Amino acid sequence: MGENTGKCLCGDVTFQVTGEPVMQGNCHCNDCKKNTGAAFATILFFKDEQVNVLSGETSSFQYIADSGNKKTKEFCSKCGSLVYGINTGRPGIKSIYIGVLDDGSFASPQFNVYTTRALPFVPIDAVCIRISSA
Ligand SMILES: [Zn+2]
Ligand SMILES: [Zn+2]
């Protein structure tokens, strides 16, 4: 895909991602529901060096995930859009929710995780691998 740009809701924080995501999937866990306010999250994972914040200021919030890993969310200090996440269980990787990219149409989620927590009305693509918990 080459390069892709993204921005938060207010436009202060802009960033660029380069190259293909190392992994991409849909997550139905409760953390993702709380983080996004949505029914599930499509997450793209990139190596740190693939992600460049170009402008704006982020604030961070840390919490302990179900897995016991420490997670950090970096969000726009002004509008609160989640820009990327860091997980101590995945060193060197940033997770980006697809909605902050300007064009997420290239993505092709490979798996669904925490499908046991998927809301009943959410269709799960049959070609995706289902993982009930991870
Ligand atoms: Zn913003
Ligand atoms: Zn999740």
Q: What are the residue ranges spanned by the domains of the chain?
A: 3-131
Calpha distance 31→29 (Å, rounded): 6
Three-class SS of residue 21?
Answer: coil
Average pLDDT over residues 24-33: 93
CA of 79 to the centre of ligand 2 (A): 22
Read off the pLDDT of each residue in 13-27 and give the average, rounded to a whole number.
96
Q: Check if CATH label 3.40.710.10 holds for domain 3-131.
A: no
Q: What is the pLDDT of residue 131?
A: 73
State the Rg of the chain over Cα: 14
CA of 120 to the centre of ligand 1 (A): 32
pLDDT at 1 over 70: no
Interval between CA 64 and ligand 2 midpoint (Å): 13
- Tell me the average pLDDT across 11-30: 95
Output the DSSP codes for 33-62: HHHHSSS-EEEEEEEGGGEEEEES-EEEEE
pLDDT at site 42: 96
CA distance 8 to 99: 9
SS3 31: helix
Q: Residue 129 — pLDDT band, cuts 50, 70, 90?
A: confident
